[in-house]
Each structure stands twice: as C-alpha cells, then as structure tokens.
Structure 1
C-alpha cells in the first residue's frame, strides 16, 4: 500500500537557507495576491486614453474614445457625461473602452466643456473628475481676392470672432490663381495659377500651407509655404477637382503644342498624374475618391477610380452632375425630359436607382447637399424673364429643397448674377456665395468666371442657416457681406 506524503517540521529544517527564503517569498506573494483579489482594485479610477486630446474636432470627427484603467459601470459613466454646449451622440462599449459616436456635427468656432465625474467604483480615496475643454475647428474660409494687393491671390479669412476677423494672404503676388481646392485637414490648398516663368497664360499646379493644423494643435505650421507639383511644361492645367478625403485629384489638361491632346488625368495621393482617356469640361469627384462624374454628350458618365468602385455607368438624358452626398452614396443631377422640362434627380450609386425630386421649365444651375442629417439641398434656380426691348435674361434665386417630397422654399433673389458660386459650411450653419461684376478682358492674367468672362469686382456674402429652413414658419435669413473677393470655400 502506497504511503501518503505529508511534510513534517523536520523537513523544513532540512531545507537549505536559500530554499527556505524562496518558499517564504512565495508564501508572502500568494498572500498578497489573495488580499488584492479579496479587496479588489484600490487604484483611483482614471482615463488612460482620450482621443480628443490635442486636436480640433470638426465634421470629419466621428467619435470620442476613452479607455479606463479598470472595469467600470457603463450606465454610471454614460449618465455622468456632460458636454456644454450639448453635442449629441450614442455609446458603444468594448471592455474598458468607451466609444461616444457623434450623431450631429460639432458647431465650428466653438469651445465645448466636457465633464465626467468619475464615480466611486473602487474603494479608497483620490478619485478625480475628468474635465476637458474641446475646441472645434475655426470658422474660416478661403477666397480669391479681387482688389489691391489681394487681386488674384488666395486669402485665408478667419471669422470665428466676427468682431475681429483675421486675414492672411497665402500666395505670392506674381501668381494669378484660377481655381483651388482644400485638403481635408485644412493644412494645405491645391490650386492652379498662371505662372510668369512659363508660357503666357499657361497654368501650373501648386500647393500652399495655410498655417492651420487640426490634428495636433501643439505643432506649429507656417502659412504660405509654396510647392510646385509635377513640373511639366507640355501641358496647361485648366481645371482641378479634389476628393473630399484628399485621396484623389483630377485634372483637366491640354497639350500646349497640340490642342487636340486634351482630357482628364487622375493623380491618386502621392502619385504622378496618369491620363484617363476622357474629355470633359464639367466633372466632379466623389468624396471618397471612388467615382468621377463627367458631363458627356447625351448624359453623365460615372467613371470608377478605385478597384472596388465597380464598372463604369452612363446615365442617359442627364444634363449635369451637381453634387455628391457627404457619404458618397448619392448623386444629385439635372435631367432634360422629352417635353423639354427639366428635373432634379437623386441617383443611388449602390442600388443604381434614380428618383425624380421635382420638375420645372428651367434647369437648376447648381445644388449642394446639406451636410447635416436632414434630406435637403440648397440650389440655385432661375426664372427666365423677357422685358420689353431686352433679350431673355435669367434671374437666379437661392432655394432650399426637401429631397424627400420635393417641396421648395425660395430664400433669396440674386438678380443679374447667373454665375453664383455656392459653398455650404461643414457644420451646415451657413451658406456662402459670391456676386461678381464682369467687363472687357484685361489680358492673360485676368480673373475669369466659369464662362471665361473677365472679373472686374466681386463680393463674398454669408447667409446664416439656423433652424429648419424647410418650413415656411421660419423667417428668411438675411445675407451679410463678408469681404471683397470671389470663389469662396469653407475650411473643412
């Protein structure tokens, strides 16, 4: 029969000093572990990771994430969070990590005060409330100047403090800017400009820094740092379109020696341009850089720019692509009907289905989606009026259109200015437009409208967009003149 082993005091005495020491340490450690397990985590509850530190939030901000140093009660954390002014969101938990997913766009030019009274979820003292001041992105715009030292130059105009707006001239005097686009973080602009070191009237592509850094507010970036892109004297770069996420730049080019060699080129981020083999005067790029919408004979073509975008599509009878929705899933277009009327159409790029929003005798000149969740767009429409002894003239007006039922509410008449440039603020709370005066050509360095008319003067206006403008009960907003200039764009 096997004997059962049992330690005796004599056995402990027989162990060496080293073995007894190791055994004692092991017993002490085991005792400490047991005490910790029985008493729980005594460290103060704290936030170990916070995604909004040293950054400015904006329309591209999707969520706040926090990680805690030990398990918490989700209900208590959610109930304790306060943000002033309110910023709506919904919560998702992954263990100790908390995702506060925003359901509304932060208001630009605003400081938010976040407070989280960390509950007493562990015994002991020293727990502290978590507080943070969150700064949203600046309420600012960029435009092309029309007078004095600003003429033909890019101007950054910060209107976060309306009583003390700030202007910065970004480009040198010897470049006449034709067109520009803004990269998604607002740190750089890409633009075309006539270059005095090249052939008369030839346009090259440049980038310039704005001095704004929305990703890390502790890093200093100086404005006005200029860089020429893709040194190539064979082509005139006439128009550009940049994806909202900055991934893709599309360029309309023409060979200066052979005008028949003209078409669209695409430059994915970090790569040199390559020709697409497509000619087009009017084109827009989807916000994710997946699709290019081009106006062609007989309709609008949808050209995939990435492998996952699928096959090319052609939308017959469409007149013009107006705007992609902020998520890139829908496209607003105008369509000419057999009875010569014109329709506003919304096209679903995933389902490849289209729906008529409204129909009228005249085409819409331009439209912009509201970036907020409301299904509406702000459009420039026109009535054509013939007065005695005068030719038929378009009389544009700005309207808000409900994209669900097609209800239209006129907001503002814009007489005598058929070429108005519309820009919706990234938070949806303002609309900018320009009004220009044109005259005879003044030379190769003229400022030009889209129809190539020479710009003599221009004004940039701001139309506030508070409340639900789709209802007739709200008073019409009053436009405010901001500055002299044209082609305004909101900083993202």
Structure 2
C-alpha cells in the first residue's frame, strides 16, 4: 500500500532532535500565553511604589504618589482611601500612578493612619489591603538660652509631648550665639557667634547638627556636631538671612580694619560668599532664594539673586519689608503715608503690583503670613500709651489681619516689651514670641537685642491658633509660657 505523503511530516522528520525540542517548547509557550490571555492576569493588585515610605511629612510635603502593578479604576481607589485623622487633598492619575496632592498642611507631632482597600482584579484573587502609619515632623523649636549653662547657647526643644518635653543644648559654652537660621530639613542650624579665637568680639559663622533626621536616611549625625564656615579674620559677620529652601544665604559683613568696607554678601549653597555692593541694616531673602528685599533710603529695594528673577526694582515710600509668602509670590510691606498714617501693603512679585490692605495710625513692627490657605497675617502693631507722670511709650499688641478685606482683630497686648520676636508654626497652629528684660550693654560677649540693649532675662511664649479666628465671638487664645530664652524659631 502506498504511504500518503505529508510535507509537514517529512519536514519534521528532517529536523534534528535539538530543533524538534526547541519547536515543541515554543508551541507549549504559545499555548500557555494563550491560556493567560484568556483567563486574565492572576497576580493580586499591589502598591509597587509609595513616596511616603521612610519619611516624615511636613509643610514642605506637596503630594503622595502611589504606583500599582495593574491598571485600576480611579473612582474605586479614591473612594476607598482613608486617612485618619483626615488630611485633605486632590487626586491626579497618570496611568497606574496616583498623585494625591495635599490641600492641607499636616499637623506636626501627629501620627496618621492610611488605609487603602485593594479590590480584586477581574477573575483574579483579591489583593492585600494597603496600610501605612505616617509620621509628621516633630513639634519643636530652637532658641537662644538666657539662664545658667544655657546662656548664649542654641537650644533645641521638642514639645511634641507637652507633658515630657525634650531639651538639647547644641552649642558649646565658649560661643555666644547672636542670630541663627534653620535649614529646611531641620537637620542643621546656621548661626553667627562671637568667637573666642578672634579678637574684638568679632563674629564668625557656624553650622551645628540638630540630630533630627526627617528623611530617615542611613546617615546618623549626633546633635552638636559643629562646623566653622569661611574662616576670614578680616570680616565681622553681623547678620544673616537664609532662604527657606536653603539655597541662598545673605550676610551683612564689615571689615574689621576698615568700617567703610561693609555691606551685604551672598553665598549660594556650597559656594563662598561674594559681595553684592549693597549696604543695608534690614533685609530678608525670599523662600526660593530668588529675591532679596532690603531697606534703603526712600523705600525698599528688590534685588534679584539669580538671573531668572529679572531686573532690580525699587518700591518707593515703603518703610520695611516684613515677610515673603511661603511660595515667594507675595511680599508684605509697611508704608508711611504723607498724613503720618501707616499702611500694610501686599506686593505681587510676578505682576509687580501692590495693594493696600489696611491703613491706621499705628506703625507695624513685624508681620508674618499664615502658612495655611487663609489669606491672613499675624502682625505686631505699636499703640502709643501715656501713663501719668511718664512720657508716651510704644506698646506692642498682636493682631490677626484678613488680607482680603483688611479686617483686623487684636489678640494680645504685650505691655512693657517694645522688642518682640514672633514666629508662626509651619502648620499654622501656633505662634511663638519672646519677651525680654533689658539693661545697659556690659561687654562684647553680652546678649543683645536689635537695638543693642543687653538682655537680662527672657521668656518664650506659645499662643495656640485653633480654628479660623474669623469672628469676634471666638474666644481669644491664651498664651502659655514655654521656657526661659529668646529669639525662638519653629523647626520646619
């Protein structure tokens, strides 16, 4: 009987054993892929990337990002997200990546529990629900001590647990701290101090580690690690201002041998200082390091510190620059008017326009933007009081001012303390200020106020700022004494 010829059979017989084996494996793989495509992906839904892992969230935290191993239904995922206590935000999707952009500032010293039920994929097993304990930054402050072994030294004070506050002295006894600023991660402070190795009470610039590790990196630095910057025996470093993002430091310096050689110097991060050719007693630097606002004769100058910031600009008739907004887009200024009244001005740095918020008879000593979304500021204003048998004296009081309609509400009178330093908590829920007792200057290593009066004693106070303080019917918050010291600053 004649055998039927099959081209496929003949070709298969001609193949080597190796080729037939490879072909069989390929056929099996094709069949397996077909089965997977028909049945669907059987792996459970999981979070493969989570941006808040191993970090402490704070005012600088902009968004949470999560990436999933499968495409998901955005509506289902958003409806299942629970953060306790609540932390408001809005969502944006890019494929499998979810951006949860915060619209509230996290409360400092708070633990948040995040829970996300992961639904089952179609014809697949249910994923394990995702949970995370999120820690916000510590509720802490730094200040200069005034009593005992703390006098003239930088102190880190953690009040996250008000029943058991923790205090760490950061600087050695032989340095008398004059002024300090805080780097954005809270890991370091930069400060000026009279240095015993330099004659005449000249001040040098130092940094000191706080021991705070908000990013939870592997590097562990103990608090108190000191570093001297820019050893230059010719200059006395008198005042400093640091951009909130740490990118730019501005220094007021004077040549110890020639007082005519004085002015502002600028030091971008990681670089040596260079002179700006500008003199100024009062100056503040924008949070992004773009602008410097300096008090000059007849007004306030806006000096660009980077090429992208544009040309210099002069604001006539302004008394002083008070504060930049957190995003660097607005600037608060005080203005004295021809009728001797005083105005609070909001200046838009992008549009280069200004708007008068309020006008009154009393000068503005200082103002701070509220970091929360509400358009308001906390300001120290000076009332003038004349008591029997005494000359007229300025008496500061603290007020909250609505920057939209100019409505002002007095919060607290501060009698007998003409020099007050105030700072608003990064989450907007507290305000700190100091009250100092002064006397005549005793020596070059004495503690001094801005008016060069010797500080005999000082107290740091906390004023809680709950609610919106919107109406007169709200109860005024009560100040709480925290510690002996002055020049308090909230840790970022």
Give the TM-score taking structure 2 as reference length.
Answer: 0.98
Q: How far apart are the structure 2 equivalents of 1:79 and 1:387?
A: 63
1:362, distance to aligned residue in structure 2 (A): 2.0
Counterparts of 1:169 and 1:178 in 2: how far apart (Å)?
Answer: 15
Q: Mapping of 1:102-113 within 5 angstroms?
A: 102-113=102-113
Partner of 1:291: 291
Contact residue 119 and residue 126 of structure 2 kept, 8 A:
no
Shift of 1:361: 1.3
- SS of residue matched to 1:66: strand
SS of structure 1 residue aligned to 2:436: strand
- Counterparts of 2:169 and 2:160, CA distance in 1: 17
Count the aligned residue pairs. 488
User: Following superposition of structure 1 onto structure 2, how do residues 313-462 of structure 1 map, counting pairs within 5 Å?
Assistant: 313-462=313-462
What is aligned with 1:154? 154
Q: Which residue of 1 aligns with 2:246?
A: 246
Give every structure 1 segment of 4 or more consecutive aligned residues whose post-TM-superposition deviation is greater than 4 Å: none
Tell me what 2:174 maps to.
Answer: 174
User: Where does residue 3 of structure 2 map in the other structure?
Assistant: none
1:53 counterpart = 2:53: yes
Alpha-carbon contact 2:320-2:333 (below 8 Å) kept: yes
For the 8 Å contact 2:81–2:117, the answer to whether it is kept is yes
Contact 1:54 1:218 in 2 (8 A): no
> What does the per-residue CA deviation read over 1:339-365, in whole Å, with 9 as the maximum and x for residues that have no partner?
111110000000000000000112100
**Deviations for 1:402-452, whole angstroms, at most 9, x for unmatched residues?**
000000000000001111001000000000000000012221111000111
Matched, 1:74 2:74: yes
Distance in 1 (alpha carbons) for counterparts of 2:123 and 2:138: 43
Please state whether the residue corresponding to 1:365 is helix, strand or coil: strand
Q: Distance in 2 between matches of 1:135 and 1:348?
A: 35
2:40–2:124 Cα contact (<8 Å) kept: no
8 Å Cα contact 1:401-1:470 kept in structure 2: no
Aligned counterpart, 1:3: none
Shift of residue 473, structure 1, vs aligned partner: 2.1
Unpaired stretches in structure 2, ≥5 consecutive residues: 1-5
2:119 paired residue number: 119
CA displacement, residues 96-116 of structure 1 (integer Å, 9 cap, x when unaligned): 111110000000000000011
User: Residue 280 of structure 1 corresponds to which residue in structure 2?
Assistant: 280
Question: For the Cα contact (< 8 Å) 2:118–2:126, is it kept in 1?
Answer: no
Q: Distance in 2 between matches of 1:106 and 1:119?
A: 28
Q: CA deviation at 1:118?
A: 0.7
- Aligned partner of 1:198 in structure 2 is 198
**CA-atom RMSD in angstroms:** 1.2
Match in the other structure for 2:16: 16
Instruction: Tell me, yes or no, if the aligned pair for 1:45 and 1:122 is still in contact at 8 Å.
Output: no
Counterpart CA distance in 2 for 1:218 and 1:112 is: 23
Name the stretch that deviates more: 247-256 or 209-218.
209-218
Q: Deviations over 1:314-345 (max 9, x none)?
A: 00000000000010000000111111111100
SS at 1:8's partner residue? helix
Normalising by structure 1, report the TM-score: 0.98
Deviates more, 1:174-183 or 1:65-74: 65-74
1:27 equivalenced with 2:35 (yes/no): no
Answer yes or no: is the 8 Å Cα contact 1:56–1:217 preserved in 2: no
Q: Which residue of 2 aligns with 1:476?
A: 476
Describe the SS at the equivalent of 1:240.
Answer: strand
Question: Which moved further from structure 2: 208-217 or 154-163?
Answer: 208-217
Partner Cα distance (2:455, 2:182) in 1: 23
